[in-house]
């Protein structure tokens, strides 16, 4: 079909499920979730702490998790599948013990050796849990002391510190067999509010962003980072009317054309309040796709697999009359298929006690010798 000079296409020629990562609601799949996964056939899943038996012994929660992952694979029926999680250290750890609670990046960025060891040890643990994609490293800079959500999650307070440590982390996580994802583009460090609860704003000019917030991302792009996650923030100097996730000026013009990123883009969790209202617009997927988002991370307490299906169905109905060229939709699909085909697959396996003990010793040592004493925490805890 041709509308003007825009070639459109039939929606049945697209694998729209490939554009979604979703989250199961508990430690087992309900009959409804199993049916929904089979219908949507998402690109992958993301796990959070609600997907694990928190107070159970290691062998018990590991077996329950193994069964859950098997249920998901059986329902989705994709030969290549994203198994993902947020895993940074500090409070951004979803698994129960004995999975190691390494300190925050601000702490283990104290030396190159520490960054390398933490990333390598994380990779060992994540592989044993079947994880092939981790939403780390944080490439934001701790540039605003009033920031309530990034602060100690950042690798440092300057562009050079973050670029170096985040790059080292990504390199060693990748070497350990787990795909890294840099976040939160174009930089969430200079905000004074949390995008989980509201829409933050970065009041910096583009030259200022190029000199600071964007430098770690540019370094990671130079090192061929595979995936970059958008931030649900307003940056008026880049786009005065749309948050970064939904902005072609940010995700296409800046990230892809000016900074040269060729990998996969993913929206930060779409259950976050900064973006959630946009989901009900009736054209969310079309808008996000046009902005340059490849993957929609449909996770959070306010969204479900059924929401992903509803968005997919609305998008499918709009595709044949969309102004978005069909060749661009197919190019995105091809990019995702190539990425999926490169993913490793790992069985869920039990690690021996001495591995956990060695990793725990490193976590405790790093925490006790932390240069940022305000951020020392108990590495044996679970959040």
Domains in the chain, start-ordered, CATH in brackets? 2-364 (3.20.20.300)
Instruction: Tell me the mean pLDDT in the region 58-66.
Output: 98
Is it the case that residue 154 has pLDDT exceeding 70? yes
Name the residue with tokens 């959040």.
383
In this prediction, residues 257-273 reach a mean pLDDT of 94
What number is the average pLDDT over the span 157-183?
98
Pairing type for strands 2-3 and 6-7 reads antiparallel
How high is the pLDDT of residue 320? 77
Residue of 194, 196, 223, 276 marked active site = 196
* Mean predicted confidence (pLDDT) in 221-227: 98
Mean of all residue pLDDT scores within the chain: 91
Specify the higher pLDDT residue, 318 or 253: 253
- What pLDDT was estimated at residue 279? 77
On the question of pLDDT at 382 being above 80, the answer is no
List pLDDT tens digits, range 299-320.
998 899 999 999 999 999 888 7
Q: Is 188 a catalytic residue?
A: no
First to last CA, the chain: 52
Q: Would the pLDDT of 280 be above 90?
A: no
| Catalytic position from the list 140, 268, 294, 307 | 268
Report percent pLDDT > 70 for the chain: 91
And the tokens for 98?
A: 């004995």
Q: Is the per-residue pLDDT at 1 higher than 50? A: no
| b/e map 3-20, b = 16+ CB within 10 Å | eeeeebbebeebebbbbb
Confidence of residue 7 (pLDDT cuts 50, 70, 90): very low
The pLDDT value recorded for residue 381 is 35
**Residue predicted with more confidence, 2 or 155:** 155
3-state helix/strand/coil string of the chain: CEECCEECCCHHHCCHHHHEEECCCCCCCCHHHHHHHHHHCCCEEEECHHHCCCCCCHHHHHHHHHHHHHHHHHHHCCCCCEEEECCCECCECCCCCCCCCCCCHHHHCCCHHHHHHHHHHHHHHHHHECCCEECCCECCCCCCCCCCCCHHHCCCCCHHHHHHHHHHHHHHHHHCCCEEEEEEECCCCCCCCCCCCCCCECCCCHHHHHHCCHHHHHHHHHCCCCEEEECCCEECCCECCCCHHHCHHHHHHHHHHHCCCCCEEECCCCCCHHHHHHHHHCCHHHHHHHHCCCEEEECCCCCCHHHHHHHHHHHHHHHCCCCCCHHHHHHHHHHHHHHHHCCCCCCECCCCHHHHHHHHHHHHHHHHCCCCHHHCCCCCCCC
Model confidence at 371: pLDDT above 60: no
142 is catalytic: no
């Amino acid at each position: 079909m041709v509308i003007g000079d825009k070639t459109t296409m039939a929606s049945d020629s697209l694998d729209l499920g490939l554009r979604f990562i979703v989250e199961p609601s508990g430690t087992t799949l309900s009959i409804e979730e199993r049916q929904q996964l089979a219908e949507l056939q998402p690109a992958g899943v993301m796990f959070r702490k609600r997907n694990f038996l928190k107070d159970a012994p290691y062998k018990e929660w590991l077996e329950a998790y193994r069964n859950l992952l098997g249920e998901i694979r059986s329902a989705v029926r994709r030969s290549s599948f994203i198994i993902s999680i947020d895993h940074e250290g500090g409070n951004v750890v979803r698994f129960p013990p004995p999975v190691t609670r390494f300190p925050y990046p601000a702490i283990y960025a104290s030396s190159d050796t520490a960054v390398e060891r933490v990333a390598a040890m994380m990779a060992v643990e994540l592989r044993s849990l079947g994880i092939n994609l981790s939403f780390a490293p944080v490439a934001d800079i701790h540039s605003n002391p009033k920031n309530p959500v990034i602060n100690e999650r950042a690798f440092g307070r300057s562009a050079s510190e973050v670029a170096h440590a985040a790059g080292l982390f990504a390199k060693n996580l990748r070497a350990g067999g787990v795909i890294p994802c840099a976040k939160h583009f174009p930089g969430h460090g200079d905000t004074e509010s949390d995008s989980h609860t509201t829409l933050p704003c970065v009041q910096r000019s583009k030259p200022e962003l190029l000199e600071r917030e964007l430098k770690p991302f540019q370094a990671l792009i130079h090192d061929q980072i595979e995936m970059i996650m958008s931030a649900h923030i307003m940056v008026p100097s880049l786009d005065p009317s749309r948050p970064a996730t939904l902005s072609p000026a940010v995700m296409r013009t800046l990230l892809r054309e000016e900074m040269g990123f060729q990998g996969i883009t993913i929206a930060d969790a779409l259950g976050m309040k900064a973006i959630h209202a946009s989901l009900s617009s009736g054209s969310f997927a079309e808008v996000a796709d046009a902005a340059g988002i490849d993957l929609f991370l449909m996770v959070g307490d306010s969204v479900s697999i059924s929401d992903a299906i509803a968005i997919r169905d609305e998008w499918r109905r709009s595709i044949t009359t969309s102004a978005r060229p069909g060749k661009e939709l197919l190019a995105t699909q091809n990019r995702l298929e190539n990425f999926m085909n490169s993913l490793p697959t790992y069985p869920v396996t039990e690690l021996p006690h001495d591995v956990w003990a060695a990793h725990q010793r490193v976590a405790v040592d790093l925490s006790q010798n932390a240069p940022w004493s305000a951020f020392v925490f108990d590495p044996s805890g679970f959040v």
